[in-house]
Structure 1
Amino acid sequence: MSLDSDVIVDRRRLRRKLTFWRVAAVLIAIAALAVAGLVLSPRGTAVLSATGSIARVNIEGLIRSNQERTEALERLGNSSAAAVIVHINSPGGTTAGSEQLYDSLVQLKAKKPLVVVVEGLAASGGYITAIGADHIIAQQTSLVGSIGVLFQFPNVSDLLKTVGVKIEEVKSTPLKAAPNGYEPTSPEARDALDALVKDSYAWFKDLVKTRRGMDDAQLAKVSDGRVFTGRQAVDLKLIDELGDEKTAVAWLVAQKNVKKDLPVRDYKLTPRFGDLTFLRTAASITLDAMGFGSIARQIEHTGMTQAVDRLALDGMLALWQPGSGN
C-alpha cells in the first residue's frame, strides 16, 4: 500500500510539473509575440524589413479616413522596398476616405514604382483608389467602375407619426441640420443635397478623365454609375491590362526596371497592437498545440464578431451597393 501511495504521489507531482511547464511555455510564447507586436506597431519599425523586395499592400472592404493607414504608406515610401503592388477588393466607402487614400498612393507612387491589381472589385471609392496608380491590372471577371456618388439617410417621419412622437426643434435657418430624417425633406434641403452630390460627382469624373486620359465621349460611356467586368474595362480604358500579381511583377520588371525575381512581401497598413488580432491567432495556435484546445477555440472565436456596418458610414459616399441598386 505504501508503494502504491508513493506512485500516486509521484504521478500527481509529475502532472503538476507538466501543467506548470505547459502554462510557462504559453506565457513565454505570448510574451514574445507581444514584443513582436510592439515592434511591428505603427510606432515601431516598418514591417517590411528585408531589402530588395516588392511590397504587397491590401486594400479590402469599406474605405474610410484612416490616419494610421496614411502614415503607414508614408513609411513605405521611405522604406527599402523596390516597388509596390496594391491589391484592391473594395466597393468603396466615403468620398473623403477614398480621396485620402488616393492622395496617399499618388505620393507613394512618386517615390516607388506602383501598380494596382484588382482582385474582385474596385468600385466607386475603390476605383478612386485604383486610379492613383499609373497602371491598373484586373482579372477578366473583376468588377470595376461605379463612377458616381450618393448621399443617403433614413427618414423615419412616417414611423414617428404612427407611434405618436413629434420632434421639436429650434434652428437658426431652415437648412440648418437638414435633412434630419425626422420630418419630410423640404425641396430646399433636397436642392442643397443635390448640389453637393453633383459637385462631388463632377470632381470624381474629372479625376477619372485626367488620370485615365479620356475624352468627353469616352468618359460619358463609363460614368453612369455602372460597373464593368475586367474584359469590358480594358476597351473602356478603365484599366490597362488583364492579369494578376504575376502580371504586375512582369510589368514592374519590364516598365520600371525593377530587378527580376524579387520576392513579394506583405506590408501591413495598420498593424495595430491594441486590438490584439495577431496575438489572438498566435495564442490560439500555441494553446491548441499545448493541449488546451477548448481555450484555443474560445480565443479564436472572439475575433469573429467584428463586422462593418455600412449604415455607420457618414457623409458623402462613393460606394457601390448592388443590393440597393446603387
Structure 2
Amino acid sequence: MSLDADLLADRRRLRRRLTLWRALAILSVFGALAVLAGLRSDQVLPGAAHVLRLPVSGFISEDRRVIEALEEAAKNASVRALIVAIDSPGGTMAGGEALHAALRRFAERKPVVAVMGATAASAGYMAALPAQRVFARESTVTGSIGVLLQSFEVSELLERAGIRPQVFASGPLKDQPSLFRPLTEEGRAAMDRVIQDLHAQFVGMVAAGRHMDADRARSLADGRVFTGRQALEAGLVDAIGGEREARSWLAAERQVPETLPIRDVRTRGTAERLLSSATETVMKSLFSEWLGVDAPRALWQPSR
C-alpha cells in the first residue's frame, strides 16, 4: 500500500513538472513570435526616410507617450509624412483634444493624411480633423459630432431599501449630479452650460479643420453619424479610399514617394497593448459610471 502511494505521489509530481515546463515552452514560443512580429513591423534602417503610421483605435484618452512620440517624429528628418489610421468610436473630450492638438502641431511641419476604418466617430472623427486629406471607406461610420455627460441616481431604490444617505457639500452645485438625489433645475442648467461650451469647442475644430462655415459645421454637429459616402457629400471627408489612396495622394501632392516604407508609432510593449485593448473600454465605460459622474465624452454610443 505504501509503495502504491509513493508511486502515485511521484507520478503527480512528475505531471506538475511537465505541466510547468509545457507552460513555459508555450510562453517562450509566444514571446518569440511577438518579438519577430515587432521586428518585421519595424524593418526600417535607422535614419532611413519613411512614412509614419499612427494607429488610433479603441477608446481615446490622453496618452502622454503618443503625444511625445509625435513631437519627436515632427523633428525627425527621416519621417516624411504621417498616416493617421483611425478605427475608434471616440473617447473623452480631453483625450480627443490632446490628440487633435498634437496632430495639428505635426501637420504644421509635415504632411498628414487620415484614413478611416470601420468607425471614426466623435473623438475618433476629431483625430482626423488636423489632416490635410481625409479618406474614408464608403461604409465607414463617422461623424457623431457631439458631447455626452451622463450619470444616474438611485434615490428611489435607496428609499425602498430603507437607506438614507447623508451628503455634506460646500455648495448647492457641488453634489450635482448626484447618485443620491434627482438633479435640480439649477444643477441641470449648470451641466447644460458645460455641455454647450464643450460642444462649441468641438464645432470650432470641425469648422477650422474642414475649412467650413461655423453655421454649416454646427448644422452637422447634432450627434448623428454618417456613412463614408454621406460624409463625403457633407464635406466631412475629402475622398473615398484607404491607405493605398492615401499613399498615392502623398506622392502626387506632397512628393512623398510610395516606395518609402511605413513604420508604426510604437509607445507600448506587446503585452501592455494586449492588456490595454482587453480592459480599457470596460474600465472607462463601466467603472467611471458606477462611481458616479463620467468625464465629458465625445463617444458614439449605438445603443442610443
Where does the alignment leave 5 or more consecutive residues of structure 1 unmatched? 1-20, 41-46, 278-301
Could you tell me which residue of structure 1 aligns to residue 72 of structure 2? 75
CA shift for structure 1 position 274: 7.1
SS at match of 2:192: helix
SS at match of 2:190: helix
CA shift for structure 1 position 186: 0.9
Give the direction of change, closer, same or farther, for the CA distance of 1:26–1:232 in structure 2 (3 Å limit): closer
Give the direction of change, closer, same or farther, for the CA distance of 1:303–1:147 in structure 2 (3 Å limit): closer
Measure, in 2, the Cα distance between the counterparts of 1:23 and 1:149: 47
Could you tell me which residue of structure 2 aligns to residue 62 of structure 1? 59
Give the direction of change, closer, same or farther, for the CA distance of 1:31–1:158 in structure 2 (3 Å limit): closer
> Contact 2:91–2:299 (CA<8 Å) still a contact in 1?
yes
Please report the TM-score for the alignment, with normalisation by the length of structure 2. Answer: 0.79
Match of 2:185 among 187, 204, 210: 187
SS at match of 1:62: strand
Could you tell me which residue of structure 1 aligns to residue 9 of structure 2? none
Q: Over aligned residues, Cα RMSD in angstroms?
A: 3.1
Measure, in 2, the Cα distance between the counterparts of 1:76 and 1:166: 56
Could you tell me which residue of structure 1 aligns to residue 49 of structure 2? 52
Give the direction of change, closer, same or farther, for the CA distance of 1:176–1:303 in structure 2 (3 Å limit): closer
Measure, in 2, the Cα distance between the counterparts of 1:90 and 1:237: 20
Could you tell me which residue of structure 2 aligns to residue 110 of structure 1? 108
Give the direction of change, closer, same or farther, for the CA distance of 1:259–1:150 in structure 2 (3 Å limit): same
- Identity of aligned pairs, percent? 37
SS at match of 1:59: strand
Could you tell me which residue of structure 2 aligns to residue 311 of structure 1? 286
One-letter code aligned to 2:189: D
SS at match of 1:58: strand
CA shift for structure 1 position 29: 7.8
One-letter code aligned to 2:236: L
Could you tell me which residue of structure 2 aligns to residue 4 of structure 1? none
Q: Deviations over 1:89-146 (max 9, x none)?
A: 1111110000001011112222321100001111111111110212110001101111
1:271-282 aligned at under 5 Å gives the runs 271-272=268-269, 275=272, 277=274
Could you tell me which residue of structure 1 aligns to residue 302 of structure 2? 322
Give the direction of change, closer, same or farther, for the CA distance of 1:197–1:134 in structure 2 (3 Å limit): same
Could you tell me which residue of structure 1 aligns to residue 232 of structure 2? 234
Measure, in 1, the Cα distance between the counterparts of 2:196 and 2:27: 57
> Contact 2:90–2:298 (CA<8 Å) still a contact in 1?
yes
CA shift for structure 1 position 307: 5.4
Q: How many residues align?
A: 272
Measure, in 2, the Cα distance between the counterparts of 1:91 and 1:276: 18
Measure, in 2, the Cα distance between the counterparts of 1:255 and 1:316: 38
CA shift for structure 1 position 306: 3.5
CA shift for structure 1 position 234: 1.0
Q: Deviations over 1:224-278 (max 9, x none)?
A: 111111111112110001001000000100111112322223222x22377385x
Give the direction of change, closer, same or farther, for the CA distance of 1:53–1:171 in structure 2 (3 Å limit): same
SS at match of 1:122: strand
Where does the alignment leave 5 or more consecutive residues of structure 2 unmatched? 1-20, 289-293
Measure, in 2, the Cα distance between the counterparts of 1:23 and 1:188: 60
